[in-house]
Structure 1
């Protein structure tokens, strides 16, 4: 019975894991947009911090695709989990504005849209898709 829901449960875990890695990068100042004046020197990052978050998404994608073990389902599941992770990231970033943490939540909504889009596109999309392809290839090779 649970085999029917296996891809759905994997997508939920995959999307939540991607959102957790991206939110950690945003809160540490690594995945913030560099435009509009750039980052302050105090919040600047070293050259190896961004690839660590990308490797986290890559590893999550490889593992999820290996567990799914079907190329078509894995690719479709990646795009579903990518969208789910972006939605979860946006909700977490916007939540303080809607719970009364800010007097004007509209400013936070605009910033959350920019932060989410900047963090998820294009590098996380390409890294996650490459991890999905590698995981599918590994599952086909060793199945």
Structure 2
């Protein structure tokens, strides 16, 4: 996994996100750990039943864990949030869009966040600041808009 992530970066990818061990698709066991051990991964998408040890590695290596709005992948959002909180790892909410109808409205994104078991305040941070933190992590400068 590390070699693939490194090569992806060398080929010009600004973001390397790896498909995690979701409970609704066949994924090779150990994919989460292999991804988290890489120095070239920015995010782990739909990590499924991620372990506390894996979440701690994500925290240590500043790898974001996805709270997924995708049907099926979202089944384990509450577990992902609990592990992330216990480990101090960062979260990001993502649509995992496969087509235009999968894109999120602000209202639905908030519902997904709240449905994962976080508070209103945590949902606000997840939706407003986590994306900016992720952009900063990958080296995209943030310029405040007039609404800030």
Q: TM-score, normalised by structure 1?
A: 0.30
More helix as a share of residues: 1
**Greater relative contact order, per chain length (Cα 8 Å cut-off, separation 6+):** 1
Q: TM-score, normalised by structure 2?
A: 0.29
Bigger-Rg structure (1/2): 1
